[in-house]
Structure 1
Amino acid sequence: MKISVKKIFILGLIIFLLIQFYQPARNLDYGQVLPSHFSKIYAVPSDVKNILRTSCYDCHSNNTQYPWYSYIQPARMFLDSHIIEGKENLNFSTFGDYSQRKQGNKLERIVKQIESDEMPLASYTLIHKNAILTQENKKVLINWIESKRDSISIGF
């Protein structure tokens, strides 16, 4: 039995078209800021908020700004897996629900990942150039986060 390249291509195209109908719910709070949101727990300066919104919130909050290609599968599945994993590790929208110890540990981990250039992910900044943390952005974030260590007695 010989399967032609044309039949394989048509089958692949049909599968690609069918998976486009799978569009899971989006990670959106439509701008809602919950009482447990990071910016409600701490008095976050506007420059820090802007950096976090641009470089972190798409994967680490309940309010993702989806790009145009998120409507195309399998790109959407790839994005969703990153968002789910990101929110499991750190969710700024529910930061206040963490214990004081966990909040302190999360802040310490943020500093370490910024210093080691682990975050934001290279796969994210490849397309989102504005999310790349400049040396100045890193300095602003790290200085502000380290200043919060005084307000959290447990975890540091």
Structure 2
Amino acid sequence: MKKFRIISLVFLIAFVLMQFIRPSRNQSSDQGSIKKTVSIPSAVSAILKNACYDCHSNNTRYPWYSNIQPIGIFMAKHIREGKQELNFDEFNTYSSKRQRNKLKRMKEQIEKDEMPLPSYTWMHSNAKLTIDQKQLINKWIDSTLHR
């Protein structure tokens, strides 16, 4: 029983100390916004902001639980990785070929239900895309790629 108390105390101390580790926030400008390059209907824009922008833009809306570590650290890693794959706020800095490839890849991942991630929609159920929303985004991507 004494071992259990010591182990519990060590974990408690580690948890408290971990709260002092604060990853930087993903909050900056959108100088290269996709809106400066591609025409986006307001309905599609609203869907993208709700389901994609938290991980794929320079401006994340942080929920209260992001202040609890190690959740905040996990989220920061997710956001960093998401922005490396696609960043809507830096989209117009991509080459034309890369922009087209990103849109094609986005369509593929939406069709395969790979995006938004299940781990994200689990906590943000309103970000789960309906069939109609998927069709609307894919139709927009197709029309954008044909220009």
TM bucket (normalised to shorter chain) is over 0.9
Name the SS for the 2:36 alignment partner: helix
Gaps of 5+ in 2: none
Deviation at 1:39, TM superposition (A): 1.3
Cα pair 2:55 2:82 within 8 Å, conserved = yes
Q: Which one has a larger percent helix, Structure 1 or Structure 2?
A: 2
Query: 1:133: which partner in 2?
Result: 129
Instruction: String of CA shifts for 1:70-122, please: whole Å, max 9, x gaps.
Output: 00000011111111110111010100011000000000001100111000000
Query: 1:85: which partner in 2?
Result: 81
CA distance in 1 between partners of 2:30 and 2:43 (Å): 18
CA distance in 2 between partners of 1:137 and 1:122 (Å): 17
Query: 1:33: which partner in 2?
Result: 30
Matched, 1:143 2:142: no
Question: Structure 1: which 4+ aligned runs deviate by more than 3 Å?
Answer: none
* Percent identity for Structure 1 against Structure 2: 48
Name the SS for the 1:4 alignment partner: helix
Cα pair 2:58 2:89 within 8 Å, conserved = yes
Cα pair 2:30 2:58 within 8 Å, conserved = no
2:66 aligned residue (60, 67, 70)? 70
- So what's the TM-score if we normalise by structure 1? 0.91
- So what's the TM-score if we normalise by structure 2? 0.96
Name the SS for the 2:146 alignment partner: helix
CA distance in 2 between partners of 1:25 and 1:122 (Å): 24
Report the aligned-residue RMSD.
1.2
Query: 1:14: which partner in 2?
Result: 13
Name the SS for the 2:123 alignment partner: coil
CA distance in 1 between partners of 2:41 and 2:92 (Å): 17
CA distance in 2 between partners of 1:15 and 1:114 (Å): 39
